[in-house]
Amino acid sequence: MSAQTNFWYWQLINPALGLVIAMFVVAVVFDLWGERAYWRILPVMIVVAALFYGITVLIPGTFLTFVAYEALAMLFALGGYIYLSSPAKLNGVWLLVAGVLITIVAAMVQAVGKNGVVLFFGLDQKGVFHLVQMVGVLALVGGEQKGLARENK
């Protein structure tokens, strides 16, 4: 892929990543404090996502910005879901804790891996990250489904 094509792809990917992380934080806020807090934090997190994208434009090609942004969000989520787990204030909360922990492990694999070095079944650290992250996403979705099922009864 040409450098220019790569650049333009990242101009689409970075705002999407920023919004995904921001909306994840908004979901955690909803689980912790309810709908009123959700509506208050939503515009703030949209601005945070835009700032994240702005930083990626000003400092292109650095993955460290995303790692820091995701780490802050995941540590907040982990603390929030651990809080909700004792006593269980949210159905499926342990799946959410597991999903966040798996996401953190996946990010660590990607951040500390040697670029291009085969780690597992012909995959480099980026490939291993995506495999591990898929498991994390399944845990997160399972936890949210259990939480929603309880609310809908």
* pLDDT at residue 93, rounded to an integer: 92
Quickly count: other Cβ atoms within 10 Å of residue 27's Cβ. Answer: 16
* pLDDT at residue 15, rounded to an integer: 95
Question: At how many degrees (to 10) do helices 93-112 and 64-84 cross?
Answer: 160
pLDDT beneath 70, residues of the chain? 113-120, 149-153
* pLDDT at residue 52, rounded to an integer: 96
Considering only CA atoms, give the Rg of the chain.
Answer: 17
pTM: 0.84
29: domain range? Answer: 3-151
* pLDDT at residue 122, rounded to an integer: 76
* pLDDT at residue 119, rounded to an integer: 64
Token pair of 60, please? Answer: 């292109």
* pLDDT at residue 152, rounded to an integer: 52
| The total number of structural domains that make up the chain | 1
